[in-house]
Structure 1
Amino acid sequence: FSEAERSQCHIYSYPYQLKYYDNITNNFPGGLFKCVCVISLFDERPFEYEFFLRIAQSFPFMKKLTLINMKSQNGKRCKKSEDDNQDLSIVEYPHLTKLDLIEAHEDYIEQFLIDTKTCLSNNVYLAVLYQPLRRVTEKFTRNATRINCEKLRSLGLQ
């Protein structure tokens, strides 16, 4: 990470048996991690749609997700995938119960709350800063965020 003047390397055996996987970056190659239920994402470069799809597929039993990234997304998800010219899938998190976006750019709040981008499970606890949440939901009146906001069990606002 050039801004922090540090680097990291993940070394693990396969099959990966731990319940957590911390500080996943854009360089994450994918794979299937059935035991992992707690993950954190961190990078100095923006996370894009394909990254979230790879995360959801790699961690099918994820219950807790923390995202730390203050960089705006470059290619806010467009209607068609550049690779195959088909409609992009909605990223699904069927087991997610806690989502921490306190240290996330508001693009990621939008990524998780817009129903055409993400499908959250019911009873999710969302930790988020109030002002960016208010902007993304347009003072809680935006139709595109209504479905996922209805699935929230509680909010931790700062």
Structure 2
Amino acid sequence: MPYYVEITNNFPGGLYQYVRFISLYDEYSFEHEFFIKISQSFPFMEKLSLINYQSQKHKQSYKSINDNYNSTIVKYNYLVTLHIGEVHDDYIEEFLYNTKTYFHSNIGIYIKYKSLERVTHNFTRDVLRINCAKISEIFFYGEKIYCKSLRDYFPCAIIH
């Protein structure tokens, strides 16, 4: 089975080494530990789609890198496409903050421009630049006029 769709917080875990595409959807927030479970259950995942408008409950743990509760970095070694256009801003930060998420270069993301602008503080927030530099393509929903600093923030990306 190459795909597993509409995974919720009730996902029991397991190993799905042949699944390449997954989609996550829930009405309850996904916490960092859930993304750890997902990355371990789908080690060869290439495409990830996420829909969740609820803010993360344990977001305050982002403030402390030494906090044991949220210290594990989620690794997506084979991820090439990330759909985060229908999410709360917390999930954009979850994926772009390099102390939370690691992925290789050449990632294509689908995202709302205004959400990205908010999370990056109008493309000035330095702590997100490491993962942003790994993005090779950005597909925006909505807005068609972009800030000039967008190009500097995503130096390797083709912007669609």
Q: Which interval holds the TM-score relative to the shorter structure?
A: 0.7 to 0.9
Note if 1:131 corresponds to 2:131.
Answer: no
| C-alpha deviation, 1:81, in angstroms | 3.4
Note if 1:97 corresponds to 2:84.
Answer: no
Alignment TM-score, normalising by the size of structure 1: 0.84
Letter in 2 for 1:128: I
Q: Encode CA deviations 1:45-76: one digit per residue, 9 max, x unaligned.
A: 00001000000000000000000000111111
Task: Specify the alignment match of 2:157 in structure 1.
Answer: none
Task: Specify the alignment match of 2:51 in structure 1.
Answer: 68
| Closer/same/farther in 2, CA of residues 77 and 118 from structure 1, 3 Å limit | farther
Note if 1:42 corresponds to 2:51.
Answer: no
Secondary structure at the counterpart of residue 126 of structure 1: strand
For 2:100 and 2:33, the matched residues in 1 are separated by 11
Aligned partner (choices 8, 24, 31) of residue 25 of structure 1: 8
| Closer/same/farther in 2, CA of residues 77 and 99 from structure 1, 3 Å limit | farther
Contact 1:49 1:77 in 2 (8 A): no
List structure 1 segments (4+ residues) > 6 angstroms apart after TM superposition: none
Note if 1:81 corresponds to 2:68.
Answer: yes
Structure 1 spans left out of the alignment, 5+ residues: 1-17
Contact 1:46 1:71 in 2 (8 A): yes
Alignment TM-score, normalising by the size of structure 2: 0.83
Task: Specify the alignment match of 1:5 in structure 2.
Answer: none
Aligned partner (choices 78, 86, 89) of residue 106 of structure 1: 89
Contact 1:66 1:101 in 2 (8 A): yes
Aligned partner (choices 26, 37, 43) of residue 54 of structure 1: 37
For 2:52 and 2:18, the matched residues in 1 are separated by 25
| Closer/same/farther in 2, CA of residues 138 and 100 from structure 1, 3 Å limit | same
For 1:146 and 1:117, the matched residues in 2 are separated by 13
Secondary structure at the counterpart of residue 132 of structure 1: helix
Aligned partner (choices 88, 96, 99) of residue 116 of structure 1: 99
Q: Encode CA deviations 1:103-145: one digit per residue, 9 max, x unaligned.
A: 1111000000011111122100010000110111112221111
Letter in 1 for 2:108: Y
Note if 1:146 corresponds to 2:133.
Answer: no
Q: Which has the higher strand share?
A: 2
